[in-house]
Structure 1
Amino acid sequence: MRIQLVSKCYYCELGDMKTMTHLFLTASIIQKLWKKFTFCAGIKIEGLQLQQLIIKWWKHKANNKLDQVLKAVPAVLIWELWNRRNAKRHGKEYSFTWMNHQCQMMIHQLIRLKFPWIKEVPYQWKPTLYYHLVNWKFPEEGWIECNTDGESKGNPGQSSYGFYIRNNTRELLYVEAQDIGVTTNMDA
């Protein structure tokens, strides 16, 4: 019928105009995925176009043994972003958690393919947790205490933080709590 319509992004609630940069880099959920992986590699993505990011990633110095796997990560991310776009276009749900899981799984498979002699590749990094008992004491005169907490319903999921400040007589000086959107429990 020769009706021309502006293409809309399937990632955004607002339906921003779909461009290659928006589709693979600047949409909020996509930025979140890139930041998750670029943070681990020590790469900053602010102000970069997609092509600049990929070139920066490929030029990034890494352990020689992992260099080929690291260079494949942008292709893995773009592939999963394309899969999510197509799923959303055809009415299927494809969450950020699933997309992140798929990327990690594909990178895991690349490592196993590149290094077949490695019997077990850790799928996800699991930190060693240390703890010690903390006994609360009133702050000395002239000092204050600040108690904080954050939470995430899911990881990532809807998140918030809160804190309060009291003086040495336990008088409440300030309280703040705020929703910070969808993020991880570590960010919260």
Structure 2
Amino acid sequence: MCLPKEEGGLGFRSLFDVSKALCAKLWWRFRTSNTLWANFMWNKYCKKQYPQYVQWKGGTQVWKLVLEARENIEQLIWWETKNGTSNIWFDNWTKLSALHYVLPDIQIDESIEDVKDLIGGNEWNVSRLQQLLPADVVEYILEELELREISEQFLVHGTCLDKEIMLWKFKLPVDEVLATIGINIVSRCCCCIERRHETIDHMFLIGDFAKTVWNWFSSAAGILMNCCQIWKWRNTRLLGGNMSMYKVLHESNQNIHLLRRIRFPSMQNIPDKWPDFIDYFESFRPVIRTLVVKWQLPAKGWFKCNTGGAARGNSGPSYIAFCDRNEEGNLIYTAGQTIANGNILIAEALAIKKGVDYCISHQLVPLVVETDSLAMKMFISGTWEVPWSITLVVQEINRLMRGNMVIVEHIYREGNGLADILTNYVFDFAGTQHFHNFQDLPIKAKRLFNMDKAQIPNLKIRHGKDNRL
């Protein structure tokens, strides 16, 4: 049946081959991506072992099939030598396959793991290679595997950023660039004693001043982006000003600390000295807190209305949506629409008003209204003072609730996904949307609806304060 029609078959795809291909793709993603799934599988099955040697000792059938696919695909994955983080013995960085596979009798030195341990400067460490590997393999590495020059890339915490992605895209007016547009001047770099020809590479990478700045920071943590300070120093010198090298280093260090305060405001007592600063962050481990959030079915005889609002900017087009369900989690009615310009608070308030108004007018009471805006719950209950912009809307909500069994509760955004995705649907297609049954819902909304009805929980993930080892 799986043979081509020309060969007498029916042309069906072999499910066995499809399964092998999918499992091979999962192994590729497990080895090469940094996704939540890959990190989870790595910590569950390969935490203290090399993935190339892990054996199936229980677990999911998917993992078992992925390990079977590993035998076919692992040796076909080639790890390009850039910053040298590939494993010498178990990763295929030579294009010959992993060394433990092609040289099964070799004595593995476990004290040397990464390829970078075989590199000295910008060249292969020949003596180290000869100590560890046979002569023919060493000869092949020296002839076939070329190391990229450091001047052709920036190394930022293990990531190679080519010049084309950096500020080389911009036409900085150094002498080299000026000459290409017909402005010919005597080129003398003001950043070094010998006054050499000023090029971008010389200015930012190989000049005397640039080398001093890079060496200061690279002594602790690779190469960072100090180009802005170098360019500022160059222009100051070119225009007759005076700016010491120590000031450049101080300003670069100060900028890094300012960035740290913005990115990690909760972290305190961070050392000022650059080497200590790097040691501190290398030992940093984020604390991840998780909370199980689940949309709860309403009590028997009750109805539930989930609401959501969104706005483009502080005063831009706004969108609202609400979704009504019964005690069994079945859809009764959902609607979304575009409203006048406003902010997110006004949109959330109007969404609650529309939802409550519809439910009361259609006898969908007693009613629980859920919103992911804690502020709106506090405003409606009178706990917080109501802003003037939504005073009339809150008063109208309280008027509708008066005399009816209506409760307003707060729910985390992860449990209010259906209302949010319907709001985004209106946001994308700009207009009024009505849905009376499950079949009419958008595909993404159907998925969330089924998860809510089946009481499948979501995870709310938060990063806590720093936790240092």
Q: What TM-score range do you get, normalising by the shorter chain?
A: 0.3 to 0.5
Q: Which structure would you say has the larger RCO, counting Cα contacts within 8 Å and 6 or more residues apart?
A: 1
Report the TM-score when normalising by structure 1: 0.46
Report the TM-score when normalising by structure 2: 0.19
Which one has a bigger Cα radius of gyration?
Answer: 2
